[in-house]
Structure 1
């Protein structure tokens, strides 16, 4: 990515705040996260373009993207839920427009995982999402091999088995968000709500395509209507996973130092305990080395789920370049 090209530093900082960071991360850290996410996006588009070529079509479709992450069953389930909610919102908006043509559109970004999680708490809307979700069968599902479909039995057991894992992850995130916002003031919650809507793609489709080098990866940069929104959903999850993983590495590192009696948290700063050292109890931001270790662990787990893919040697070289640029 050229330094003068599109950048998502602000959006990444907002996503890291939602992921648990309470202090502003350094530009070097957000730049590294942006480069990692960009590499993943280009890798996904490259594979999706190859799949589209095999099918003899010029357009990258939703199924091409989902097929690439099919090994992560929970992620696939969340994506299908996201698409179902998008369809529900679209239908409701069309109905509202017909009933009240002068109504103002105040909908939130649809490609943010937070919006999907929050919407899932409404029983009536959840029923509509389930109804829409049943319609979106994947081409590689066993049921798609037959011209005559088995009628639905109407029970919850008929839902895909992977939905339970996705629901657990959604509940975990909602619980964490609940705990973080419990004692917030109105002003603090307003900032939280604004950061919660951060997205790589919401009203930034052209900028995102340029950032992802889509024109170079796929001839004509032709993609289906929902593909950019799906990528916005995936990139938000990538940043959140990297942020949570880096914070976990940071906490483990700090706990190890404390256990060995090598000093307090502020003693680890380059400034030691001098004039500009932070006050005791101040939460320091994650650093480049924490992101590096978090990404390494995600790559290890991706051997099974393919959540983070791509040549590790290439990404290691990328990290070394950024580290030299940062002087670390």
Structure 2
């Protein structure tokens, strides 16, 4: 079964749910172009979640996706928190801001029953997850309105686990992908595979549709993924320069620079491995730092640095999430970009 048959869309394209970047405007544009727009919900308040869903329902009649994190709540660790604040303190001194007295509550949160109750009001046709799955009770509630359930796998083992849990399709997230790794059965970064290897192995290992993600930037990449047995593709980085994306001017400038051709999997922004453009913080504290607090607490110590630096025109402390292939980033409407992924006239 291909992605179009599974979800009821025209094109085998899912716009990746990029937190802080993708809002209702981008979702609607992709949906109305024939793809599956995805609303990232991990950083949304309940009120914002409801208002975004209302806009999407009003502006498109096509299927759309809502995406949530399934991370466990971090355990308090005062010693670890103090060590991390000591490590970043020189940057506070440099920028002339006060050192935080404690690691604050996370800005990214896992799915909750309150959020599910809001979803039930709008009955989104697709609900996807990162970092595993929520409880079986939550999944049953989501299934009650007929939603298809997708989740990310970064290894064959994770794909088999998800299949046993009854998901409708698996997003095979290759190491090339931007943003957070969806890994959840292991925190060993050495288990991570590139998209080509991962997709083919998962296709052979399971009996449900597989969606390829990571390094897919144009129609040639989509064709290659489908030739490996993928039922469809999920694309994120290529949308970052679209006018409908909420990408900041500093972020856009970085994406259009030579720096965007060099990315790294780093944990210094959040405490979890994620692929980003290499900037000052990644170079000086990472890419992987063993002293970061558990996800997503590490980010609270970085947030004031990011805010201050950005006010001065610097992205030294900004999480510039991007995949390894930024060649597909185009400053064109998201609808045109979505349609270009299946165009036979795609440029070399």
**TM-score for the superposition, normalised by structure 1:** 0.29
Q: Looking at both structures, which has the greater relative contact order when contacts are Cα pairs under 8 Å and sequence separation is at least 6?
A: 1
More strand by share: 2
- Answer with 1 or 2: which has the greater Rg: 1
**What TM-score, normalized by structure 2, do the two folds share?**
0.28
